[in-house]
């Protein structure tokens, strides 16, 4: 498996996959910077909760598109170059599928971890009132990594299925819109549950109240839905098993 994974990184030379991830990270923090630019002392007092709330929504919008582009970068080189016929005589098809997930998953984990680190650094720089709570960091990782992995799995399948990468990329953009809309529905709404892109909002861990008179937002903790988490993890496990089996069974 290590050998196959090593060749996956060799293949990624000049594919600018790292640059793609960095570009999205840069854009995310430009967005965050814009949000913070008109912050007052009250906002900064509970800065981390405020930022987690914003970052969760920004990720819901940007991550599906980024994951679609990443999956396409990783998979369409096999389609374009007709390489599956060669690779399948050199490595197990299941292993090839696994290393595609592992590589994309590594980029994703690094991305979310980098967000968290940049948030910490930004918090210190701006002097956020309260320290970052460990459980918030854990919830953030869980929310973004688990849902994104399910989406990435779907995108890998689409990128392998369609020679024309416009279709998987369109699916990514569609997912971004669905994800954004899902935040405007309550937890009980079917809209949040039936679309995988809506699961970011299902796993939210902060909420807020808005006082119109004082124009003050007050953030509070929300226990992430265990049912939603269970569903996302089940989707991840069963989705992986089904997609892998479909990939292995497909003749090249």
Instruction: Detail the DSSP E strand segments found in 150-211.
Output: 206-211
Q: Radius of gyration (Cα) for the chain, nearest Å?
A: 19
Nearer to other proteins, 33 or 81 (CB): 81
Q: Smallest distance, Å, CB 239 to other proteins?
A: 24
CA 179 – CA 168 distance, rounded (Å)? 16
Q: Is the CB of residue 106 less than 8 Å from the CB of residue 18?
A: no
CA 173 – CA 151 distance, rounded (Å)? 12
CA 8 – CA 180 distance, rounded (Å)? 33
Name the DSSP letter for residue 172. H
Nearer to other proteins, 14 or 226 (CB): 14
Name the DSSP letter for residue 213. T
Nearer to other proteins, 233 or 248 (CB): 248
CA 157 – CA 151 distance, rounded (Å)? 10
- Cα torsion through 248, 7, 19, 64, rounded to 10: 10
Nearer to other proteins, 72 or 148 (CB): 72
Nearer to other proteins, 98 or 115 (CB): 98
Q: Smallest distance, Å, CB 84 to other proteins?
A: 8
CA 184 – CA 187 distance, rounded (Å)? 10
Which positions touch other proteins (CB under 8 A)? 3-4, 6-7, 10-11, 13-15, 77, 80-92, 251-252
Nearer to other proteins, 2 or 166 (CB): 2
Q: Smallest distance, Å, CB 6 to other proteins?
A: 6
Q: Smallest distance, Å, CB 163 to other proteins?
A: 14
* 3-class DSSP state of 206: strand
Nearer to other proteins, 44 or 99 (CB): 99
Q: Smallest distance, Å, CB 222 to other proteins?
A: 45
Nearest to 24 by CA among 48, 72, 58, 57: 58
Mention every residue, 6+ apart, whose C-beta is less than 8 A from residue 55: 28, 32, 115, 119, 140
Q: Smallest distance, Å, CB 46 to other proteins?
A: 47
């Amino acid at each position: 498996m290590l050998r196959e994974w090593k060749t996956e990184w060799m293949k990624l030379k000049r594919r600018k996959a790292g640059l793609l991830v960095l570009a999205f990270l840069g854009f995310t923090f430009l967005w965050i910077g814009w949000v913070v630019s008109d912050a007052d002392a009250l906002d900064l007092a509970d800065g981390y909760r405020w930022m987690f709330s914003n970052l969760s929504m920004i990720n819901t919008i940007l991550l599906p598109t980024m994951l679609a582009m990443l999956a396409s970068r990783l998979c369409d080189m096999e389609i374009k170059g007709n390489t599956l016929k060669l690779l399948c005589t050199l490595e197990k098809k299941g292993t090839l599928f696994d290393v595609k997930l592992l590589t994309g998953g590594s980029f994703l984990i690094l991305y979310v971890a980098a967000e968290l680190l940049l948030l910490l650094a930004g918090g210190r720089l701006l002097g956020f009132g309260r320290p970052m709570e460990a459980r918030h960091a854990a919830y953030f990782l869980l929310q973004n990594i688990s849902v994104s992995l399910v989406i990435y799995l779907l995108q890998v399948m689409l990128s392998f299925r369609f020679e024309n990468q416009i279709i998987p990329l369109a699916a990514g953009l569609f997912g971004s819109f669905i994800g954004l809309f899902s935040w405007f529905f309550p937890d009980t709404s079917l809209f949040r549950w039936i679309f995988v892109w809506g699961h970011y909002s299902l796993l939210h861990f902060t909420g807020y109240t808005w006082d119109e008179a004082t124009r003050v937002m007050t953030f509070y903790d929300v226990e992430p839905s265990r049912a939603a988490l269970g569903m996302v993890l089940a989707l991840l496990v069963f989705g992986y098993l089904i997609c892998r089996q479909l990939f292995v069974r497909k003749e090249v």
